[in-house]
Amino acid sequence: MRKSICTLVLIVELLIGSGCETDMKNIEKLNYANAIGVDYKDGKYYAYIQFIDFQNVAKTTDGQKGPARIWIGEGVGYTFEEALFQTYETAQERIIWGHVTVLLISESAFKEGIKGIYDSFSRYHEYRLTPWVYATRESVKDIFSVPGFYQRSPLSTILHEPKGIHSQTSYVTSIKLQQLMRQINEPGFTSCIPTLAVNKTQWSEKNKPEPKLMIDGAIFLKRDSYRSYFPLKELSGLRWVKPGTIRAGIPVPDRKDPSVQIVVDNPKASLTYMNSGDRPQYDVKMKATGYIVSRTKDDLLNFQQLTDETEKAIEVEIRSLFQTGIAKKTDVLNLEYNLFRYHYGEWKAMSPAEDSLLTDDALHDIHIDLNITHTSSEKNKSVQGTGRH
């Protein structure tokens, strides 16, 4: 009996020992990919990997940090996988893919088609489906090379952490890979992916330009096909109708000659379908609360007048967005998806329905219910309530 127990203990020790020798690795002997980039040019895919130095992620023993260190690998191939595999040749150590938080895809790669890209993510077990997805019209290398502030890790930038700045000013809501994959498989859905660019003029350090990342617009996909690019100045109306907006500012009565600046919190929009003969029409309803953050003129002092002018300014932005969508053949309000989801018979009868929805009269009425709650200042007694809300 004692001999059997000793033999069993010896076998267990051998199994554990051999397992430790072959399976466990020190973290300093592994490469952790933080972002993956994809570009397409001259008939080939270019795959990029971003590595970030751990020293700028965790605290050091002496509390000192050096400049953020970033390594960018590049591979080329006729497919995305072939390009990515080429980076293994010079990676020196095993690459761990489970820490990727960003998938950055160039506009040209989107135009070529992204089916092979997201198919790879859905098949390989190390990839997670939670990375943020961005587009760019600039160099992927340039985007990956931009540092954060205070010698912090590049993980503390819009690229890896978009929620912080989005909570203060919401223009284009960031999207994760799992959301995009779900949307691509929905009939009639138009996806919106924010585009990143490098701003080299807005910030400086010791009078030297300090490049920083910015969202400069968005591209739109229908299923997995590229539709259009909208610069940021054409997307003002999107924040009022797209889910995910937290906080947005609007000059009233207009941007060129504003009297007040209004901040709107958590706008919620809905679509109402109307069957008007043989042509479908939609009403947009939006509800939100707002408040004044600055006043430059002594007009719009009456509460009712201020509310009406603010609602009118928001409606102008929504209609302008829709008109731009018609010009670019892009269903920015996702009218077709609403038709497919809630009025399938009508959608099926007029399929393809998008052509019937991208017309001037498809957007019928816009009703905005805005409750301006306060003036953000105890000294400002100018707004006079009317009892409307």
Average pLDDT estimate for 258-284: 89
Average pLDDT estimate for 325-354: 92
187, pLDDT greater than 90: yes
| Residue among 147, 126, 149 nearest 31 (CA) | 126
- SS3 per-residue string spanning the chain: CHHHHHHHHHHHHHHHHHHHHHHCCCHHHEEEEEEEEEEEECCEEEEEEEEECHHHCCCCCCCCCCCCCEEEEEEEECCHHHHHHHHHHHCCCEEECCCCCEEEEEHHHHHHCCHHHHHHHHHCCCCCCCCEEEEECCCHHHHHHCCCCCCCCHHHCCCCCCHHHHCCCCCCCCEEHHHHHHHHCCCCCEEEEEEEEEECCCCEECCEECCEEEEEEEEEEECCEEEEEEEHHHCCCHHHHCCCCCEEEEEECCCCCCCEEEEEEEEEEEEEEEEECCEEEEEEEEEEEEEEEEECCCCCCEHHHHHHHHHHHHHHHHHHHHHHHHHCCCCCCCHHHHHHHHCHHHHHHCCCCHHHHCCCCCEEEEEEEEEEEECCCCCCCCCECCCCC
Average pLDDT estimate for 234-260: 91
pLDDT in tens, 140-183: 999 999 988 887 778 889 999 999 888 888 989 999 999 999 99
pLDDT in tens, 274-323: 877 678 899 999 999 999 888 888 777 778 888 999 999 999 999 999 99
388, pLDDT greater than 50: no
Please report the pLDDT score of residue 27 as a whole number: 61
Please report the pLDDT score of residue 15 as a whole number: 55
Please report the pLDDT score of residue 229 as a whole number: 97
Please report the pLDDT score of residue 268 as a whole number: 96
CATH (one of 3.30.470.10, 3.30.300.210, 3.30.365.10, 3.40.50.2020) for 236-389: 3.30.300.210
Average pLDDT estimate for 185-214: 93
Highest mean pLDDT, choosing among 21-35, 107-121, 274-288: 107-121
Please report the pLDDT score of residue 122 as a whole number: 84
Q: What percent of the chain has pLDDT over 90?
A: 56
